A and B are shown apart, each in its own frame.
Chain A
Amino acid sequence: MLGQTIADGILTGAIIALGAIGVSFGLQILRFANFAHSELITWGAYLALAFVGFFGVGTPIGPVSFGWQLILAMLLAGLLTGVLAFIVDALVYRRLRNRGASSLTLVFASFGLALILRHLIILGFGPGTHAYTHELQIAIEVWRGIRILPDQIFILAAAIIVVAGLHLYLTYSRTGIAMRAMAESPALARACGVKVESVIRWTWMLSGALAAMAGIFLGLTPQLHPEMGSSLLLELFAAAILGGVGSLPGAVIGGLLVGLSENVSALAISTVYKTAMPFILLLLVLFIRPQGLFGKKS
C-alpha cells in the first residue's frame, strides 16, 4: 500500500515538477510570481488535444494508449505553448517592464491573463472534460504489488529525459549560462553585453514548453478540463519555493516532495487535508532553511 502510494506520489510529483520549473524561472529570471503559468499547462494540454483531433491519437505503440501521432502532437504543443508564452510576454509583460512596472503590477497582470487564457479554452473547447484516448489500459505490476499504467511509465521516462536535457542545457550552453547569469544579476548580465530581452524570450519559450509537457501528461492521466492547470497553481508555487527559487534540481525535488506529501499523507489522515500537506511541509522547510532546500542565501 505504501509502495503504491509512493509510486503515485512520484508520478504526480514529476508532473508538478515540470510546471514548477517554469514558476521557478519566472520568480528568479523574470522576477515576479506568474500566476498565469498554470494556464500554460492547460493550453499545452488543449493544443495537443487539437492536434490529436486533427491527425488522431495513432495506433497504440506497445502497451501505451497512444501512437506516434500523440508524441508529435506533444512536441508541436510544446513548441506552440512556448510561442504563446512569448506572445503573452510581448503583448503584456514586456510593455509593463519597459514602463518600469513593479513586480506587484506584473503579478496582478498575470491574474488577469490567467482568467483570459482559461476562458479562451472554455470558449473553444467547452467547460466539460476531454480525453486524448479512450483506450483501456491495464496496470502492470512493476514491483511487489506496485501497479503502474504503461502511460505513467512513459510519463516518468519522458519527464526524466526532459529534466536531464534541461540540466545539460543550463549547464553547458551559452544561452543556458547566460540565463543563470541573469537569474543572479540582471544588471551585471546587461553590463556584460547579454541581450537581456533575448534571454527573457528563451526563458518564456522553455517555461511554456515545460508547462505544456506537464499539461499533456496530466491529460493522459486521465483527462483534460479547463481548470486542470489552475487547480495545480498553489502546488506549483509550493514546489518552486520548497526547492529554492532559481534552482532546477530544487524545483524537481520540490515537485516530487509536493506529490509525495499529498499522496502519502492520505494513508494517515483524511484526504480532505491532502492539499494542505505541501504547505505544511513548505512551512517546516522555510523555518529551517528560509531560502528553500536548494536556494542560495541572498
Chain B
Amino acid sequence: MSESILTARGVIAGYVPGLPIVHGVSLEVAPGEIVTIIGPNGAGKSTMLKALAGLLHIDAGVVIQEGKAIGNFPTHDLVAAGLAFVPQTGNVFASLTIHENLVVGGHTLRGRLKERLSDAYALFPDLVPKRNDRAGTLSGGQRQMLAIARSLMTAPKVIMLDEPTAGLAPKLVMQVFADLRRLAERGVAILMVEQNARAALRISDRGYVLTGGRNFAEGRAEDLLADETLATAFLGARTPARKKAS
C-alpha cells in the first residue's frame, strides 16, 4: 500500500460530548484506494465518517491529512483542503436545480468554478440534459450520482461516503460502485460505509470491520471476503445457510 493520505488514530467521538459512540478507531486511506467500513448497526461507522468530516466533535485521537493534523477543523476548511463528504440521506438540495447543487458543492472554490463544473459534467454526462431541473425530480440513482458529482466540485483528494447505495435497486448499486471505481482510478481516495458489505468489498481494496465503536478486524478486501467467521457474522451468508437440525 502506498503512503496514506488520510490517517485516523484512536479517534473518540460522538453526538454528545462525554458520550462517545466511537471509542478509539484507527484507520487509513491511500490515494486511489477504496476502503470500506463495515460492521453491525450501531458500530459507529457513520459517526466515524461524520467526525472525520468535521461534522461531529472529536473528543480524542489524531486525524492527519497529508502530514497535517486536521482533527476538529471546521467542515468548510476540510472541504477546501480536499476532504469531501457525501451524507447518506437527503444528500441533494431538492429545491435547487442540478446546476445549482453543483455550484453549492463548489462553494469553497476561489475562481475555477466554470472549469470544475465542466469537469463534473464530463464525468457524469447524464446530468447535462437535466442541469436546469430541480434535484427533487431525480430518481434515487440519479440523486446519488448528483451527490457524488457535487462532492467532486472541489477536486477532493479524499471522498467519504455514508452508505452511497442505500435504497438503490441492485443494478444502480453496481452503477454507483462502478462510478466510485472510476474515481479511484483517477487517484481519489475513497472511504465509505456500506450496508451492502459484500458487494462493496468486491470493489474495495481494503476494509475495516467495526463493532461497538472499536476496530474489530481489518485487511485486504478479498481476505475479509474469504474469512469464514467474518462472513457469517457481518457479511450475511454467501449461500443459503444450511439449517441445523433442531
Contacts and interface: CB of A to CB of B under 8 A. Distances in A.
Contacts of B75: 190-191, 193
B146 to A, nearest CB: 12
Interface in B146-185: 150-151, 154
A105 interface: no
Contacts of A194: 76, 104, 107
Given A174-B103, A174-B107, A177-B104, A193 B80 contact: yes
A191 B89 CA distance: 12
A178 B104 CA distance: 6
A190 B76 CA distance: 7
Interface string B92-109: 111110001001110110
A9 B14 CA distance: 54
Q: Would you call the interface of chain A mostly helix, strand, loop, or mixed? A: helix
A180 B79 contact: no
Contact of B95 (A178, A184, A189, A193): A184
A177 B91 contact: no
B10 interface: no
A187 B88 CA distance: 12
Interface in A171-201: 174, 177-178, 180-181, 183-185, 187-195
Size range of the chain B interface in the assembly: 20 to 34
Contact of A193 (B76, B87, B96): B76
Contacts of A95: none
Interface in A138-189: 174, 177-178, 180-181, 183-185, 187-189
A188 B87 contact: yes
Nearest to A190: B75
A181 B96 contact: yes
A296 interface: yes
Contacts of A189: 93, 104
Given A192-B104, A192-B150, A194-B104, A180 B96 contact: yes
B99 to A, nearest CB: 9
Contacts of B94: 184
A193 B91 contact: no
A191 B87 contact: yes
Interface in B69-95: 74-76, 78-80, 85-87, 90-95
A183 B108 CA distance: 18
Which of B76, B92, B103: most chain A Cβ within 10 A? B76
B75 to A, nearest CB: 5
Interface string B133-151: 0000000000000000011
A183 B95 CA distance: 10
B55 interface: yes
Which residue, of A174, A180, A191, has the highest number of chain B Cβ atoms within 10 A? Answer: A191
Nearest to A175: B107
Contacts of A187: 55, 87, 90
A174 B100 CA distance: 9
B188 interface: no
B207 to A, nearest CB: 24
B144 to A, nearest CB: 14
A296 B94 CA distance: 10
Interface in B202-244: none
A191 B50 CA distance: 9
Contacts of A184: 93-96
Nearest to B162: A191
A190 B92 CA distance: 12
A191 B49 CA distance: 11
A193 B93 contact: no
Nearest to B78: A193
Contacts of B87: 187-188, 191
26 contacts: A174-B103, A174-B113, A177-B96, A177-B100, A177-B103, A180-B96, A181-B96, A181-B100, A184-B95, A185-B90, A185-B93, A187-B90, A188-B90, A188-B91, A189-B104, A190-B76, A191-B87, A192-B105, A192-B150, A192-B151, A193-B76, A193-B79, A193-B154, A194-B107, A195-B76, A195-B107
Interface of B: 53, 55, 74-76, 78-80, 85-87, 90-96, 100, 103-105, 107-108, 113, 150-151, 154
Given A183-B95, A184-B93, A191-B55, 11 more contacts: A178-B107, A180-B100, A181-B93, A184-B95, A185-B93, A189-B104, A191-B75, A191-B87, A192-B79, A193-B75, A194-B76
Enumerate the 4 nearest inter-chain pairs by beta-carbon distance, A residue then B residue, closest first.
A193-B79, A193-B108, A181-B104, A193-B76
